[in-house]
Amino acid sequence: MNRNLTYALVAGTLAFSLVVVAAQAPEPTQSTWDGIYTDEQAQRGQPLYKKECASCHGDLMSGGEMSPPLTGGEFLANWNGLTVGDLFERIRTTMPISKPKTLSRQTNADILAYIFSMGKFPAGKEEMPPDAEMLKQIKIDAEKPEAKPKP
């Protein structure tokens, strides 16, 4: 078999596999507007944010010279439609920039709760879990979704 044909078949098989995996990924069942963290969790996250994040992202999360904002229109435009799990994993694997992957999952969840509180997303009765797979069930919505009629 010709080498180019072999490469094309392998590439096509990989592309098809990715489409199948993406199609099987469950749709998020919650929104950031559903109260996905508690006030207490956000309060725990505030000093952690100040210690680990504020030097780059600013005390008010407005961003810095090389760091994006973590609230407001630009943040929402970047993350709208993605999941909290996507954002959690980005933070977990790349932050803090000077020492990525050094913060615990709980610390990252608490900081993320504080970020959502500063973004004016409502608190709820359950803490945000420090589990990326569970957080992939929560969609980041820039605007509050319309209430679905109950059957």
Q: Using the predicted structure, report yes or no on whether residue 12 has a pLDDT greater than 80.
A: no
User: How many beta carbons lie within 10 A of that of residue 56, not counting itself?
Assistant: 17
Region of residue 129 (left: phi > 0; alpha: psi -120 to 50; beta: else)? beta
Among 130, 102, 151, residue whose Cα is nearest residue 37:
130
Among 66, 24, 78, 71, residue whose Cα is nearest residue 49:
71
**pLDDT tens digit sequence for 86-110:** 999 999 999 999 999 999 999 999 9
Q: What is the pLDDT of residue 103?
A: 98
DSSP assigned state of 83:
B
- Look at 26 and 55; give whichever has higher pLDDT: 55
All structural domains of the chain with their residue ranges: 26-139
Q: What is the pLDDT of residue 27?
A: 87
Q: Which residues make beta-bridge pairs with 68?
A: none
pLDDT more than 70, % of the chain: 81
For domain 26-139, the CATH superfamily is Cytochrome c-like domain (1.10.760.10)
Q: Could you give the C-alpha distances from 14 to 17, 52, 126, in angstroms and in order?
A: 5, 39, 39
Burial class (CB in 10 A: 0-12, 13-18, 19+), 91: buried
